[in-house]
Structure 1
Amino acid sequence: MSNSPHAARFGPAEQLALGLVFLTRLPIRLKGALPEDAVARAAWSFPLAGVVIGLVGALAAIAADALGLPPIASALLALAATMAMTGALHEDGLADMADGLGGRTREHKLEIMKDSRIGSYGVLALIVDVGLRTTALSVLIQDSRGHLLGALVAAHAGSRALLPLLMRALPPARPGGLAASVGVPSSWASVAALVIGTAAVFWGLGDRLGLAGFVAAAVAMVAVGALARRELGGYTGDVLGAAQQLGEIVLLLAAVVQLPIML
């Protein structure tokens, strides 16, 4: 870690700014040199970045619905807004991991994941991913507009809350990759992210639905981590993206499946 005066001022506000820069395309300028473990120290802010992304998606859906567009079009525009906010960072990770798992050996899998080209597995994974999220959002827009904002905030914040724990639990799959360069989040940062994400999920979905949805999302994301450990030897940035997407899907589907509880 750098001992420069600039690094010494890397407090909560700077950490939050870095978390937003790392996970979104917001035009935020960071001043001064960053510590070597800056991203790891900012990991507690990941679910707050999710809150911002969810709010943008909800605003896009509400605006489209107000213009009289059909629910599926409003849902697709909401997804487009969130993907524009993140630069499709996590969708790209999902596609790369899906392609990589088709490799023959661990090294071959990692090599495929580094390739910028997308294969048939990646395309199919994105079709299923976008299809499930669009379906869930269109149902919410049609049947429960008042809960759309809460569901989107819960899905985006909750799915990012477990990423620091995955980063702690798994070793980097590549010695010189992104996972190795960002460092390991502290236990404090991981717990803080979990608390913030849980609060966002409970706020968005309510206590009973929030608990069930968050547990289901956690199981799904842990399963992605276990698969990555077995097939790749650890995690990469693509693995984190795939885990986030699966967690988001589960939370959105939970909101739809348990819609009567929310009404």
Structure 2
Amino acid sequence: MNPLAELRYFFTALGYFTRVPVPRWVGFEPHYLNAAARYFPLVGLLIGGLSALVYLAALHVFPAGVAVLLSMAASLLVTGAFHEDGLADCVDAFGGAYTREDVLRIMHDSRIGAFGAIALVIALALKWQMLAALPPTRAAALMIAAHAASRTAAISYLVTLDYVRAEGKARPVAQRLGNRAFVCTLVSGLPWLLWPNGFASPDWRFAGTALAVLMVLRYAAGRYFVRRIGGYTGDCLGFAQQIFELSIYMVGLAWISS
């Protein structure tokens, strides 16, 4: 393993999925993106950490609801709403088209329709309300876990499904992910589910439940993608990441309510 190459791949992942400036020496080649896929959960971990820090800092001044909104704004700003855009495009396409060709055409359209707008409002409102209802330590810990684990589950489609566009922004990423690279994503993205209440002690039951929910949703969404368009697009990965992130918050809230 070449440490300099791995650092370049990490910065490539950071630059692709966020608006964080990366060093000029990193450069860019299309093949960097596929090699960088192993670091997508790590980028999610950093985004979740930023969200948690903003949330905890804002709690010293504002009520929980406002603090959550500020943390959400921070994550949207740093990512450029990259995954939320995929959610809106997918809901517009799958909700408004019947044929595979129409689905892909609508998904490629940069304009947002009624289905996509409604999906965004519901997703953001759910995230806001669920996190605001959680105790502060749990909310902050789940932000970190959800951002990392959801990206791990989404990027796992690179192992099992085919990219369906001949060209596209995600095309350089969408090569099959090797076993070693996939293990790297698992190691960097999933262990955070063990600490839904901070880092005092691991909660294996919660982690197992959250992982089981992720696996069921991943299977169901993957089957749907294949049935409708024969595989996945970059928008499908963004859609999946948002659904997986929300599912972790739901499990976290249900866990303390039961």
> TM-score, length-normalised on structure 1?
0.88
Structure 1 residues 40 and 203: CA distance shift in structure 2, 3 A:
farther
Given the alignment, which residue of 70, 89, 92 partners 1:96? 89
Q: Does 1:26 align with 2:20?
A: yes
Inter-partner Cα distance in structure 2 for 1:104 and 1:91 = 23
Q: Does 1:238 align with 2:244?
A: no
1:92 aligned partner, one-letter code: D
Task: Indicate the RMSD between aligned Cα atoms, in angstroms.
Answer: 1.9
The number of equivalent residue pairs is 250
Structure 1 residues 57 and 193: CA distance shift in structure 2, 3 A:
same
> Which region of structure 1 is more displaced relative to structure 2, 22-31 or 247-256?
22-31
- What's the offset of the Cα at 1:49? 0.6
- What's the offset of the Cα at 1:28? 1.1
**What is residue 220 of structure 1 aligned with on the other side?**
217
**What is residue 103 of structure 2 aligned with on the other side?**
109
Report Cα offsets for 1:108-148 as digits up to 9, x if no partner.
Answer: 111101111100110111111111111111012xxx11222
Report Cα offsets for 1:127-181 as digits up to 9, x if no partner.
Answer: 11111111111012xxx11222211110000001123320121111211123433
**What is residue 56 of structure 2 aligned with on the other side?**
62
Give unpaired runs (5+ residues) of structure 1. 1-7
Matches within 5 A, 1:1-263: 11-31=5-25, 34-67=28-61, 69-101=62-94, 102-140=96-134, 144-182=135-173, 183-204=175-196, 206-259=203-256
Give unpaired runs (5+ residues) of structure 2. 198-202
Inter-partner Cα distance in structure 1 for 2:205 and 2:122 = 28
> Which region of structure 1 is more displaced relative to structure 2, 9-18 or 105-114?
9-18
- What's the offset of the Cα at 1:10? 5.8
Inter-partner Cα distance in structure 2 for 1:121 and 1:29 = 39
**What is residue 200 of structure 2 aligned with on the other side?**
none
- Tell me if the contact between 2:41 and 2:149 (Cα under 8 Å) persists in the aligned partners: yes
Identical pairs, percent: 34
Inter-partner Cα distance in structure 1 for 2:120 and 2:72 = 12
Inter-partner Cα distance in structure 2 for 1:230 and 1:59 = 40
Inter-partner Cα distance in structure 1 for 2:215 and 2:12 = 25
- What's the offset of the Cα at 1:256? 1.1
- Tell me if the contact between 1:54 and 1:153 (Cα under 8 Å) persists in the aligned partners: yes
> TM-score, length-normalised on structure 2?
0.90
- Tell me if the contact between 2:40 and 2:152 (Cα under 8 Å) persists in the aligned partners: yes
Q: Which secondary structure does the structure 1 equivalent of 2:195 belong to?
A: helix
> Which region of structure 1 is more displaced relative to structure 2, 24-33 or 46-55?
24-33
- Tell me if the contact between 1:17 and 1:30 (Cα under 8 Å) persists in the aligned partners: no
- Tell me if the contact between 1:225 and 1:239 (Cα under 8 Å) persists in the aligned partners: no
- Tell me if the contact between 1:40 and 1:186 (Cα under 8 Å) persists in the aligned partners: no
- Tell me if the contact between 1:173 and 1:232 (Cα under 8 Å) persists in the aligned partners: yes
Q: Which secondary structure does the structure 1 equivalent of 2:19 belong to?
A: coil
- What's the offset of the Cα at 1:86? 0.7
